[in-house]
Amino acid sequence: MNTHESFVGIDISKDWLDIAWLSGQALRVEHSVAAIAGLIERLLEQPPTLIVMEATGGLETSLASALAARGLAVAVVNPRQVRDYAKACGRLAKTDRVDALILAAFASAIRPQVRPLPDEETRALSDLLARRRQLIDMRVQEKLRLERASAVQRDSLKEHIAWLDERIARIDTELTHALRTSQAWREKDDLLQAIPGVGKVTRATLLALLPELGNLNGKEIAALAGVAPFNRDSGKHQGERIVWGGRSQVRRVLYMAAVSAARCNPVIRDFYQRLRSQGKPAKVALTACMRKLLVIMNSMLKHRTPWNPPVDLQHSC
């Protein structure tokens, strides 16, 4: 490590921020707007090479955005990666201060890539999608309860399901409005909209939760989404290739899009049928379709090219 470099880890909780430098210095401040402003001024006196924090269900968003807005290099990382690193180093103790120190060491050793943070519009779209998922989950639970509900419970359950239907429909309208009124998203949404099997929720989820789409190559975007196969070989043993990691919500909408595209998208349907005829299990073939669909979308956005399958496939649906 260069002697002029410095690395900072920040452990985030609802009430406190624990900050640690690789040198061993540490402090705790309140998780408040005023305290974050003071922390930023302190960090700017000697800007660190890299600041690392874990993704904590949204608690990190305001802090990471404030740091990045002042020109500080910030990386938000997957907590599992940090825990795996700590275990590999034999650091099994877990306190807020220890976690911050481990994050600083992780920053120095791994140097995770600093990616642009979502802007305000993208965060708002992401929040809408998160709320939509919550409402759908609630509706699923209520419908399950309705199946075995007593006569006394049925009216209440039906009223709540109707209310959830209305709220989900309203959020769908807001999603459409957001995609239509944002100059940054409209062009991308128009390109993706032409792909058979790629619906409104899929497009909104990709634009909000996979902003790198169109800026990476095919292998990189597949790995980032968690649909790239990884080897599991050791010595003479060749294990099955599996996909893992990545962004679960992106994988979820890609799966639904692949299921739809395997029926009505001629390119994906032919690809799926060819894999099945080669003896590939349905789940493996669908995962390959997810990856192919994602790579196609990535290429379309990267080169600003429209959906244009071969002529002999365009009318085969």
At residue 57, does pLDDT exceed 80?
A: no
The whole-number pLDDT of residue 13 equals: 93
Closest by CA position to 29, among listed 44, 43, 39: 39
pLDDT of 127: 87
Backbone torsions φ then ψ of 44, nearest 5 degrees:
-70, -20
Q: Give residue-wise pLDDT tens across range 113-129.
A: 887 777 788 888 888 98
pLDDT at 315: 44
| Residue 45 backbone dihedrals phi, psi, to 5 degrees | -60, -40
Pull the structure tokens for residue 9: 């880890």
Q: Does 273 score more than 60 pLDDT?
A: yes
Inform me whether the pLDDT recorded for 185 exceeds 90: no
By percentage, how much of the chain surpasses pLDDT 90? Answer: 61
pLDDT for res 233: 47
User: Which token pair is 279?
Assistant: 């003896």
Burial class from Cβ neighbours inside 10 Å (0-12, 13-18, 19+) for residue 204 reads buried
Averaged pLDDT for residues 276-301:
94
Q: What is the pLDDT of residue 243?
A: 55
More confident of the two residues 246 and 227: 227
Are 262 and 268 in contact by the 8 Å Cβ rule? The answer is yes
Round to the nearest angstrom and report the end-to-end CA distance of the chain: 58
CA-CA distance, 202 to 111, in Å (whole number)?
Answer: 32
- For residue 317, the model assigns a pLDDT of 43
pLDDT band with cut points at 50, 70 and 90 for residue 137: very high
pLDDT band at 239 (very low <50, low <70, confident <90, very high): very low
**Rounded to an integer, what distance in angstroms lies between the CA atom of residue 124 and that of residue 252?**
20
Say which residues have a Cβ less than 8 Å from residue 189's Cβ, sequence separation at least 6: 179, 180, 203, 207
pLDDT the model gives residue 183: 77
Residue-wise DSSP of 60-82: THHHHHHHHHTT--EEEE-HHHH
- Return the pLDDT at 161: 96
Average of per-residue pLDDT values in the chain: 88
Residues in the chain, total: 317
Q: Which two tokens stand for residue 76?
A: 């938000």
- pLDDT tens per residue across span 64-86: 888 988 899 999 988 988 999 99
More confident residue, 208 or 17: 17
Cβ atoms of residues 138 and 57 within 8 Å: no
pLDDT of residue 8: 97
